[in-house]
Every structure is written in structure tokens, then in C-alpha cells.
Amino acid sequence: MRAALVGLLLGASSLGASVPARATMAYVTNEKGNSISVIDLDKLEVVKTAKVGQRPRGIVVNKEGTQIFICAGDDDTINIIDTKTLQIIGDLPSGPDPELLILSSDGKLVYLSNENDNLVTMIDVNTRKVLGEIPVGVEPEGMALSPDGKILVNTSETTNMAHLIDPQKKEIIANILVDARPRFAQFTSDGSELWVSAEVGGTISVIDPMKHAVKQKIGFAIPGLPKEAIQPVGIRISRDGKTAFAALGPANRVAVIDTATKQVTKYLLVGQRVWQLAFTPDEKYLLSTNGVSNDVSVIDVAGLKVVKSIPVGSFPWGVAVSPQ
């Protein structure tokens, strides 16, 4: 009786929920659910689920917080979604199988990786026209842009390289070998370091983006887990540049790394098959998408503790947070 009542109440509250315009939201792509889950970051709960294109993975929000861009890999397109209505208001011509994307700092350009075509594509958001394509290695995936906007980075999973690209000239500047299956790239906020995760190699390469060289590699070891199960994917580095977080895939953990010493200081147990990470704008929380357990873990950044698990859709993969 009580259970039924609670169920009713829950049902009513979720039915009545609308998306408040001012709250900060996190958007999670559900790779197999073909949807996004919208998390209210004040309540730390899902307030809405919206249908998007097929196999959504990479996701970004523009700096105004008005539009979301989603790689819909199986639809060979990028969905543009209005954050107010959560309706698809248009598409960008991404080419086949887009996986990850980033926006230029002025928000006018989208850079994306085409996994099936060995290309990085640049698209003008306003005209929705392709401005250029840059041939890269086999299975391009990770995308990053240096804080000054001068270096665009793509990682190619089978070529095992980070490609450093001049986005103005649309030319490759350097190709840097890293370990097997590099999936994600992230600059430190001062642009002095580029961190690249190698999923199969099990390491993070810290690259000097000016010298075009790997200056350090970070490895991981967790007692009781076979080394093959440690597969780093998403990386986020705090704005002060002091702490980095790395999602370790089927190891079900997020590693906390001291950026000065490059030492792992803690492993945080999260949900299963952790893919990507995103900070809240105040960096109070870090969110992780857990593909197999269909939830998002909320990490208290100051306390380095997992404080909540939020159930989302089927196979959550990407996560992006709207600006404050």
C-alpha cells in the first residue's frame, strides 16, 4: 500500500516535471536508448528524457547554453537540439559515423571525427556547410582544441596517434605516436600539456604540444584487477590544473591523478564500464557515464567521494553540462 503510494507520487512528480530555464543541466547521451537524459544539477536527478538520433555518443553544449550538438553515429548526422524544448531543430552534415565533436571557442565551428572515413570534418554552425576535411589516421575518435584555439587535436584508434592540426590552415602539424587505441584528448587549462588516453594500451600519454613529444606516461594498477581490464577513456582536468580524473572503462573506476607528480592518488569506484566525464560549472561535482550499469555517478570533487548514482537511459556514453 505504501509502496503503491510512493510509486504514484513518483509518477506524478516525473509527469509534472518541466525543465526550469535557469537551473544548470547535464545532458547524457544514451547510446542504445537513442535518447538524452537531462539531469537537474541542483536536484541531482533526471527531469526529462528526449528522443534523439540513432546511436548518440559525442555531445557538447554551446556556451550560451541554448543548443546541444550530438553525434548520431548510425544516422550519419549531428543533431542540433534546442535546450528549452529538447526538440531537434536541425542537423549538421557530418559525413558518415560521427563519434566525438568539439566547438570552437567562439562557438561558430564544429570539429568532429568521422570514424569510418579517416577524416576530421569542420562545419560552420550558422550556414551548416562543411568548411574542410582533414585526412587523419584509421578510426579517428578523440577531439580537443587548445585553449588559444591554435592547435586542434584528433586521436586515431588504429593508427595509434595524436594528430596535431592547424585549424586555420587545415593542415597537420605533427603526428605523435601513443599507446594502443587512443580514444580521448584533453588540454590542461593553460594549454601547456595535452593528455591522451590509450584504451587498449592502458596508459595516458602526457604530450608537450609545442615540442610535439610525449614527455611522460601514466600507468594504472589496481589490486585484484587484471591489467587488461584497466582501459582509460574520458579525461577531465580541473581549471586550476592541479587534479586530473580519468575514466577507466571496465575497471569501473575513476582515477584521480596529481598533475604535478603524475601520480594516481586515489581510485574511485563508480558504476560499470565508465566512459566519459564532465565537471559541473562550479567544479563541485564530476559526473561519470557508466555504460553497462545504465547510471551516472556523481563524484564530490573536494571530498573525492562518490556521493550519488543517478539512473539514466540505456548505455549512457557522453555527458555535457550547460554553462551556469
Partner 1 sequence: MLFAMHPRAHILAVAFSTCIAGTSFAQPAQTPAISIAVGVLRVAHSRETISILDIPAGDDFVAGAELGRSDNNTTGKFTNQEFTLKDRKLAEGEDAAEAVRAFAADDIHLIIADLTAAQLLAAADAGKQTSTILFNASAPDDRLREEDCRANVFHTAPTRSMLADGLAEYLVWKQWRRWFLVFGSHPEDTLYADAIRRSAKKFGAKIVAERLYQDTGGGRRSDSGSVQTQRQMPVLTQNVPAYDVLVAADENDVFAGYLPYRTWDARPVAGSGGLKPTSWDATHEQWGAAQLQNRFYRLFKRTMNARDNQAWMAMRMIGEAATRTQSNDSAKLREFLVGPDFSLAAFKGQRLTLRSWNLQVRQPILLGDGRTIVSVSPQEGFLHQTSELDTLGYDKPETKCVLR
C-alpha cell, 72 = 548520431
**What is the C-alpha separation between 247 and 256, in angstroms, rounded?**
9
Alpha-carbon distances of 18 from 23, 83, 89, 92, 175, rounded to whole Å:
11, 12, 19, 28, 47
Among 11, 20, 90, 135, binds partner 1 (CB under 8 A): 135
Q: Which of 48, 219, 283, 300 binds partner 1 (CB under 8 A)?
A: 219
* Of residues 40 and 157, the one with the C-beta less far from partner 1: 157
- Cα–Cα dist 22/38, whole Å: 14
Task: Determine the Cα–Cα distance for residues 38 and 307; give it in Å rounded to an integer.
Answer: 19
Does 302 sit near partner 1 (CB under 8 A)?
A: no
**219 exposure class (CB count in 10 Å sphere: 0-12, 13-18, 19+):** middle
Piece of 22-30, 32-40, 263-271, 276-284 that binds partner 1 (CB under 8 A) = 263-271
Grid cell of 204 as nine digits: 595516458
Residue of 17, 23, 130, 173 that binds partner 1 (CB under 8 A):
173
Q: Cα separation of 324 and 174, whole Å?
A: 36
- Asked if 168 interacts with partner 1 (CB under 8 A), we say no
- Asked if 150 is part of the footprint of partner 1 (rule: CB under 8 A), the reply reads no
State yes or no: residue 223 binds partner 1 (CB under 8 A).
yes
Task: Tell me the backbone φ, ψ of residue 304, rounded to 5 degrees.
Answer: 50, 55
Q: Which is nearer to partner 1, 128 or 266 (CB)?
A: 266
* Using rule CB under 8 A, residue 161 touches partner 1: yes
Instruction: Choose the binding region for partner 1 from 30-38, 75-83, 84-92, 217-225 (rule: CB under 8 A).
Output: 217-225
Task: Give the C-alpha separation, 273 to 222, whole Å.
Answer: 15
- Min CB(54)–partner 1 separation in Å: 13
Site residues for partner 1 per CB under 8 A: 115-116, 118, 135, 137-139, 156-161, 163, 171-177, 179-181, 199-203, 205, 207, 212-223, 226, 228-229, 231, 250, 261-271, 293, 295, 297, 305-309
